[in-house]
Amino acid sequence: MPSCESSPRVRQEAKVATATQAAALRIGYTRVKAVRSAVRKAHASKEVQQAYGVGQVVNPDVARDVKCVLQLILDRATTNPEEAASFGILQKDLEAIAVAHQAITDADKTQDHKQATAPLSTQERNRTANRILRAVARIAALTGLARSSGAGSFSAERGAGRTGPVASER
Residue-wise pLDDT for 72-98, tens only, equals: 999 999 999 999 999 999 999 999 999
Domain membership of residue 128 (yes or no) is: no
Q: How confident is the model at residue 119 (pLDDT cuts 50, 70, 90)?
A: low
On the question of pLDDT at 170 being above 60, the answer is no
Assigned domain for 150 exists: no
Q: What is the tens place of the pLDDT at every residue in 12-36?
A: 887 888 899 999 999 999 999 999 9
Evaluate whether residue 51 is within a structural domain: yes
Is the predicted pLDDT of residue 167 greater than 50, yes or no?
no
The residue type of 91 is: Q
User: Which has the closest alpha carbon to 51: 33, 76, 78, 32?
Assistant: 76
Q: Who wins on pLDDT, 76 or 8?
A: 76
The torsion angle over the Cα atoms of residues 140, 146, 149 and 151, rounded to 10 degrees, is -100
Q: Flag whether 162 is in a domain.
A: no
Q: Which class for 127: exposed (0-12), middle (13-18), buried (19 or more C-beta within 10 A)?
A: exposed
Tell me, yes or no, whether 156 lies in a domain: no
Q: Is the dihedral of CA 26, 28, 29, 34 positive or negative?
A: positive
The answer to whether position 169 is within a domain reads no
CA-nearest of 118, 100, 9, 13 to 63 is: 100
Poorest-confidence range of 64-68, 134-138, 145-149, 164-168?
Answer: 164-168
Q: How confident is the model at residue 146 (pLDDT cuts 50, 70, 90)?
A: low
Residue 58: phi and psi, rounded to 5, are: -130, 120
Residue 151 is classified by DSSP as S
Instruction: Report the number of distinct structural domains present in the chain.
Output: 1
Q: Examine residue 129 and state whether it is found in any structural domain, yes or no.
A: no
How far apart are alpha carbons 38 and 42 in whole angstroms? 6
**Domain of residue 63, residue span:** 9-116
Residue 125 lies in a domain: no
d(CA 153, CA 147): 6
Given this model, what pLDDT does residue 148 score?
A: 67
